[in-house]
Structure 1
Amino acid sequence: MHEWYKIDNIDQIDSPALVVYPKNVAHNIELTKQIAGDIDKLRPHVKTNKMAEVCTMMLQSGIKKFKCATIAEAEMLGTVNAPDVLLAYQPVGPKVSRLLNLIKAYPNTRFSCLVDNMENATFISELCKRGNIVLNIFIDLNVGMNRTGISPEKALHLVKQIIPLENIRIVGIHAYDGHIHDENVEQRQKASDISFALANNIFQETEPLFSYPLALVMGGTPTFPMHANRHNIECSPGTFIFWDWGYKNMLADLPYQYAALVISRVISLIDKHHICIDLGHKSVAAENPLPRVHFLNAPDAKPIGQSEEHLVLEVADSGLFKTGDVLYGVPVHICPTVALYEKAFIIKNHEMTTQWNVVARNRYIQY
C-alpha cells in the first residue's frame, strides 16, 4: 500500500520541485469552513498558495472574501473574479497607482487596502481623485505585532481625520495578531482575547460614526479559531491551505493535512553517515535554523549543512540510500518556500497530472 504522498510517475518530475495534493487542499478548505462555522467569517490570506487554481477551489467552496499582501496577489484574485479583495498592506509610492489600475481592470472585484497614517491617506485620496475612484480602506491597528498599524489610542483621531477625504471610504478595522502562536490553546485564547479587546474597543468607537456597518478583520491561522467564535468578525488564515511542519508541531489542536511538499533526490553518498541531496537555500525557505525541512520517508535524516544547491543529511547508514533516491520533504515554513518555485506539480491518485503556475510569486503579473 502506497503512502499517501508517493508519486508513481516521479521520474517525470525533475528535482527539486514543489508538489501539491488537491485532495488535501480540499480537506483543509472544508475543515476551515467547519471551524469558522459561518463562511461569511472567512477572508483567507492567499500569500501561502499564490496560485489561481487554489483560489478558484476556495471560490468554488463558497468563500467570497480574500486577503493578500502584494499587488500581484491582488491581480491574481482579480483574474479569477474574486468578489472582495483586501490588500492587507498600506500601498505607498507607485503601489497606489498599481492598485488603482487593478480597480479599473477588474470591475467585478471590490478592492480595498490598509491605511495607518494621515499623510499617506491624503496621498492615496489625491491619486484616487485624479482617477475618479473612491477606494475602500481599512484602518490598520497595531495590537502587538509591532510591524505596521497605528497605536489603538491614536486610531479614533485618525478615523476622524480621514472621514472628510472624499475619495477614500473607511469600511473597516484590520488588526493582525501574528505575534500570537502559543502551543497551549488556553494561552493562545487569552492572548487573542487581549488583541481582540484592543481592536474591538476601536471598532465600537468608530462604527457609530458611519451610516453603514463596518468590518473587523483579525487573526491568522493560529488565532482564527479563537476569533471565529466572536460576533461580527472576519478571520484571515493563510498557512492552513498547505500546512507545514512548523504549525503541525506547534498547533496540535488544528488537524490540517500536509497539502504541499518539496521533493528532492540523493546526489551523493559522502560517507557511512552522510548523504547529500539537491535541496539548497534556493529550494526551501531558509529563514529558520536547521532543520528547515523534515522528510516523510526518511524521518531520522538530520540536516546538518546547507548551501545554495545542496543539503547535507546525517543518516544512520548511508548504505540504505542510493543516488537518485527521492525524498519527500515537509518544509518548516511553507509560505516562503512556495514563492521559490515557478510552478507546482499536481498530484492526484499518486500520479502527477498537470502543473499550476505559482503566478503571484512575481511582484508583477501585468500591473
Structure 2
Amino acid sequence: MTRWADIDFSAVPSPSLLIDRPLLERNIRTTIGLARDPSRVRPHAKTHKMIEVARLEAGLGITKHKCATIAEAEMLGRAGAEDVLIAYPLVGPNLARFARLVREYPGTTFRATVDAPESARALASAAKGLDRRVPTLVDLDVGMGRTGIAPGEMAEALYGLIASLPGLAPDGLHAYDGHVREADLDARRAVVRGVQEATFGLRDRLVRSGLPVPRIVFGGTPSFPLHAAIEEPGVECSPGTMVLHDHNYASRFPDLPFTPAAFLLTRVVSRPGAGRLCLDLGHKAVAADPPAGARCHLIDVPEPTFVGQSEEHLVVETPAAGRYPVGSCILAIPAHVCPTVALHRRAYVVEDGRIVDEWEVAARDRVIGI
C-alpha cells in the first residue's frame, strides 16, 4: 500500500492525476481471476485511455479490448493489441476512419457493432476494398435505452442482413447493461439474469437458423462478477472502470473486489475564511457529471462540506482547516474516474513511495493520427 505522506510532490503541479501502479496491476489480476481466463476478459479502454495500461494488460495475458472512439482504437493499435471491438455507432467520417484503421494496423483485428440495417449497409460500404471482412456484432438494447436493438425478431433479421452483406462477417452479440445499478447484490443478480436470458435466447435462435454466434460481449463493472461466473461458451466480459476504480463504485458496490488506483493531487490555494479552504480542483480537473458536492472524496480531510466548485476552484469547509496552510497538498479520489482521466494530458505513476513515470493519456483527444 502506497504511503502517500512519504512521497515528494514538490515538483508535481496541481491539479494532477496520479496512478498507483501496484493497485492498478492488482485490479487487473483480480479481473482475470474472476473471469478464470484472460481470454474471457475484454476490458473497456475508455477508462484509462493509455498505451502503458494496455501493454500492462497484455503482459498479464489480455489480448482483447473494447473501446468507444476511433482514437481509443488507434491507441490500442499502437499498443500492439490483437483484438479491438469498437462498441459505438460508426457514422459520418468515422466509417472511413475505421476502414483506414483496418488498413494501417493489419496486426490488429478490429470489430464493429451495428444496431440498424442502415448502419450495417453503411459499414459494408466502408469496408469495400479491404482485404478482410469486418467482424460485426449486433448491439443489443438490454435495458439501457441508449443504443442497441431489442433482442427480438428485428435483431434476428439484422444479424441475417450482416451475414448477407459483402465485406461483413456476423461475429456475435454485444449486450451492455449500464442500467444495472442495484446496490443490493441479490437485486443486481436478478436484473443481470434477465439480461443473460434474453441474450442467450437470441443466440440460440440464431444458431438454430444456421448462423454462427462466436461471441457474446457482456456488461460493465457492476455486473462483471455475475457475468464472469457463468459457464457459457463464447462469453467475454467487458468491464472498464475496474482497472482504476473510483469512489462512486467503491461506495455503492462494496462487494466488488477492486480498489481505487487513481488519485488527484490538489493544493490549498487560499484560505478565504475561518474553517474554509479553496483548492485548485475545479471541474476542469475532476468529472462534473456527479452532483455538485459529490465529485470527489478528499482523503484525510475530516468532515468536509463542499461549498462550491467552479472551473479552477473547489471551496470546502472543515473543522480542521487550520491544519492546511496555503500550499498544502491534499489527495482526492474521483467519484467518476473515466471522464476524470480524460481531463488530464498525463498521469504521474507512483510506486514504492515515489513518482516513477509519466504516462500520456493518449486517447483523450478525438483524433490521434487517423
* Normalised-by-shorter TM-score class: over 0.9
Matching residue of 1:343? 346
Q: Which amino acid in structure 1 is aligned with residue 328 of structure 2?
A: D
- Percentage of matched positions with identical amino acids: 38
Matching residue of 1:321? 324
- CA distance, structure 2, for counterparts of residue 84 and residue 51 of structure 1: 16
The alignment status of 1:298 with 2:330, answered yes or no, reads no
- CA distance, structure 1, for counterparts of residue 135 and residue 184 of structure 2: 37
Q: Deviations over 1:27-55 (max 9, x none)?
A: 00111111112222111111100000011
The structure 1 residue matched to 2:289, chosen from 287, 290, 294, is 287
Partners of 2:38 and 2:61 within 8 A in 1 = yes
Q: Deviations over 1:317-356 (max 9, x none)?
A: 4222100000100011000000000000111111112210
The structure 2 residue matched to 1:241, chosen from 240, 243, 248, is 243
Other structure's SS at 2:350 match: strand
Matching residue of 2:277? 275
Other structure's SS at 2:81 match: coil
Instruction: Give 1:93 deviation, angstroms.
Output: 1.1
Q: Which amino acid in structure 2 is aligned with residue 61 of structure 1?
A: L
| Within-5 A mapping of 1:97-176 | 97-153=96-152, 154-176=154-176
Q: Deviations over 1:252-288 (max 9, x none)?
A: 1112122110110001111112110000010000011
Structure 2, unaligned runs of 5 or more: none
Distance 1:243 1:198, change over 3 A: same
Instruction: Give 1:213 deviation, angstroms.
Output: 4.8
Q: Which amino acid in structure 2 is aligned with residue 58 of structure 1?
A: E
Partners of 2:160 and 2:211 within 8 A in 1 = no
Q: TM-score, normalized by length of structure 1?
A: 0.97
Question: Mean Cα displacement is larger for which, 344-353 or 46-55?
Answer: 344-353
Partners of 1:219 and 1:235 within 8 A in 2 = yes
Question: Mean Cα displacement is larger for which, 108-117 or 154-163?
Answer: 154-163
Matching residue of 1:55? 54
Instruction: Give 1:139 deviation, angstroms.
Output: 0.3
- CA distance, structure 2, for counterparts of residue 185 and residue 332 of structure 1: 21
Matching residue of 2:262? 260
Other structure's SS at 2:10 match: helix
Instruction: Give 1:132 deviation, angstroms.
Output: 4.9
Alignment RMSD, CA only?
A: 1.4
Q: Which amino acid in structure 2 is aligned with residue 345 of structure 1?
A: Y
The alignment status of 1:72 with 2:71, answered yes or no, reads yes
Instruction: Give 1:161 deviation, angstroms.
Output: 2.4
Partners of 2:281 and 2:313 within 8 A in 1 = yes
- CA distance, structure 2, for counterparts of residue 328 and residue 188 of structure 1: 32
Question: Mean Cα displacement is larger for which, 185-194 or 150-159?
Answer: 150-159
Other structure's SS at 2:127 match: helix
| Within-5 A mapping of 1:77-88 | 77-88=76-87
The alignment status of 1:46 with 2:48, answered yes or no, reads no
Q: Which amino acid in structure 1 is aligned with residue 111 of structure 2?
A: S
Question: Mean Cα displacement is larger for which, 161-170 or 355-364?
Answer: 161-170
Instruction: Give 1:6 deviation, angstroms.
Output: 3.5
Other structure's SS at 1:43 match: coil
- CA distance, structure 1, for counterparts of residue 64 and residue 47 of structure 2: 16
Q: Deviations over 1:188-221 (max 9, x none)?
A: 1000001111111111111344565510111100
Structure 1, unaligned runs of 5 or more: none
Q: Which amino acid in structure 1 is aligned with residue 300 of structure 2?
A: N
Other structure's SS at 1:160 match: helix
- CA distance, structure 2, for counterparts of residue 237 and residue 4 of structure 1: 28
Partners of 1:344 and 1:357 within 8 A in 2 = yes
Instruction: Give 1:157 deviation, angstroms.
Output: 1.5
Q: TM-score, normalized by length of structure 2?
A: 0.96
Q: Deviations over 1:157-190 (max 9, x none)?
A: 2112232111111111001001002111111100
Distance 1:320 1:102, change over 3 A: same
